[in-house]
Chain A
Amino acid sequence: MPELELLAKIACYVLMGLTVLFAILVVTVRDLFHRALWLAGVLIAIAGIFIALGAEFLAASQILIYVGAIMTLVIFAIMLTGKISEKSIARTNIQWPIGLVTLTGLAFFMIRIITQTPWNFQSTSMEAHISVLALGEKLLGIYIFAFEIISVILLVALIGALVMAKKDNSSC
């Protein structure tokens, strides 16, 4: 059905365009709360791209973790810190030249990688069925080391947050 394929293609490009547009808005809008909302928009649009590419589990976990948990925490932090949400807050600081250099370097390498990759995927390999079962077996099989390291890092972060949030006057 070429009509439906065309529609799917248009939808995919619209999603990609929206991702870029929202990402630009995240860094240009003045109000910090609006920026956080645009960031949520970026993350949802990326989940949409995942769905369009057939990676439904990835899309669902993207929404569950990034939009459901991390964005909520970000907005929570914005709400709890009163002054930061004022419109007059400066958007740049002394470190912007370093940031510019790093970003240019990163962009250069990204573009090199993208142009040098042989993009000769067949449409059959794109439709590879990624089942949750296979994903779980891979995570607890060949990628067990990375998986365990990530969980240890998360645990360390958790304990660190607890220690920092503890009251100052108590011992031990």
Chain B
Amino acid sequence: MDQIFVYIKKAIVDLVGTFLPESVEIMTSILISITVFCLLGPLLMMYMTWLERKVVGRIQNRLGPNRVGKFGLLQPIADGIKMLTKEDIVPKNADKIVHLLAPILIIAPALLLFAVIPFGKNMTAIDLNIGLIFFLAVSSITTIPIFMASWGSRNKYSLLGGMRSVAQMISYEIPMVLSVVPVILTVGSLSTVAIVDAQSAWGGFKWFLFTPWGLVSFVVFFLCSVAECNRSPFDLPEAESEIIAGFHTEYSGMKFALFYMAEFMNTFTLSALTVTLFLGGWQGPFLPSWIWFFLKTFVIIFIMVWFRGTLPRVRVDQLMGLAWKVLLPVTLVNVIISGFWYYYHNFWALGLGTILLFLTLIGFMKLNRNYMPEKRVYTYGN
């Protein structure tokens, strides 16, 4: 049961290999992986929207989708058909090519990210030597299609949303990358497979979450990933009460659906990476490895939805203040602590690390307090 998908793929490749030359066999193997991801991404996205609507509905004391199919399970398919049949509106003054290309291009990095996620034992599409850096690099490309969408629409709200989105993504990328450094330091490898293997002791429960630096890194990484995929409470780029819908204001029909899809696929891949880095990846007893992986990932996604149902949206200065004044110093101190933890495995390291962490936290909370945004003076505006 554990290796069922690996066996199925092997059987198909072997079948091809009996008739055709070896090069075709390799191409088939690559093609199977690509096809699986191209199907898995949209499928996951469809049922994540269902899950989100159900959970938020429960939090807000409603039923959520319940008309199409049992428990509204066919609702995502109905939505998909609706999106496909809607009119595609392009603004008159829009930069037509850029406007068209942005939703297409935003899907590419979202799908590429699936390649390095270890879905289960022997179930990583490519075990890249630099898997983690690949993930961070590819997810940083997402800013450019967002820019294209906001610029190409020729709409002030789009532009504002795009600028907010990019400012947020740049700011949160720095603590995100730094919060991964302790894991890299401890594992000594950038490969996602090696990171999962390093957490295999104690029957698959020696998670990095259970170390002090791991806990801090996990919290920082999780907050940054919520901000990276523009989800509530950091959904300023799409704040519907302020700027309509942000960078996808001028999109309708399937183009809008593509943006939505990219956002949900990013949510999934970032949750999957959180699981891989801090929650032991696919490891766990009794159940097949891929079931463990999806269980853990959907717990993280559930927490994100819970955030959305619970927390109000933060203000822009609070958002930037959190990234630069709290998360960044905490991650820097955390790197030092994990260094101590790695080289001096005793109570001194733990004590010193904790004291350092608390001092930083107190110091930066003090700095962050009583801050009011100053009134701006436009030197050339008046």
Chain A residues within 8 Å of B, Cβ to Cβ: 1, 3-4, 31, 33-34, 37, 40, 44, 56-57, 60-61, 63-64, 67-69, 71-72, 75-76, 79, 131-133, 167-168
Q: Are B190's CB and A132's CB within 8 A?
A: yes
Q: Are A72's CB and B137's CB within 8 A?
A: no
Question: CB-defined interface of B205-225 with A at 8 Å, one 1/0 digit per residue?
Answer: 000000000000000000000
Q: Are A56's CB and B134's CB within 8 A?
A: yes
Q: Are A4's CB and B190's CB within 8 A?
A: no
Chain A residues with CB under 8 Å of B6's CB are none
**What separation, in Å, do the CA atoms of A31 and B97 have in the docked complex?**
13
Q: Decide: A37 near B377, CB < 8 A? Known: A67-B141, A68-B143, A68-B173.
A: no
Chain A residues with CB under 8 Å of B27's CB are 4
Q: Are B26's CB and A60's CB within 8 A?
A: no
Residue of A at shortest CB range from B21? A3
**What separation, in Å, do the CA atoms of A133 and B185 have in the docked complex?**
11
Chain B residues within 8 Å of A, Cβ to Cβ: 21-23, 26-27, 95, 98, 128-130, 133-134, 136-138, 140-141, 143-144, 147-148, 151, 159, 162-163, 166-167, 170, 173, 188, 190, 377, 379
Instruction: Write the nearest CB–CB distance from A36 to chain B, whole angstroms.
Output: 9
Q: Classify the secondary structure of B's interface with A.
A: helix
Q: Are A64's CB and B151's CB within 8 A?
A: no
Q: Are B26's CB and A79's CB within 8 A?
A: no
Chain A residues with CB under 8 Å of B137's CB are 60-61, 63-64, 67-68
Q: Are B166's CB and A40's CB within 8 A?
A: no
The 7 closest A-B pairs by CB, nearest first: A68-B140, A64-B137, A63-B137, A3-B23, A60-B133, A60-B137, A1-B23
Q: Decide: A60 near B170, CB < 8 A? Known: A1-B22, A37-B98.
A: no
Instruction: Write the nearest CB–CB distance from A130 to chain B, whole angstroms.
Output: 9
A to B CB contacts below 8 Å, 7 in the list: A56-B130, A57-B133, A60-B137, A61-B137, A64-B137, A79-B159, A132-B130
Q: Decide: A63 near B138, CB < 8 A? Known: A40-B144, A72-B143.
A: yes
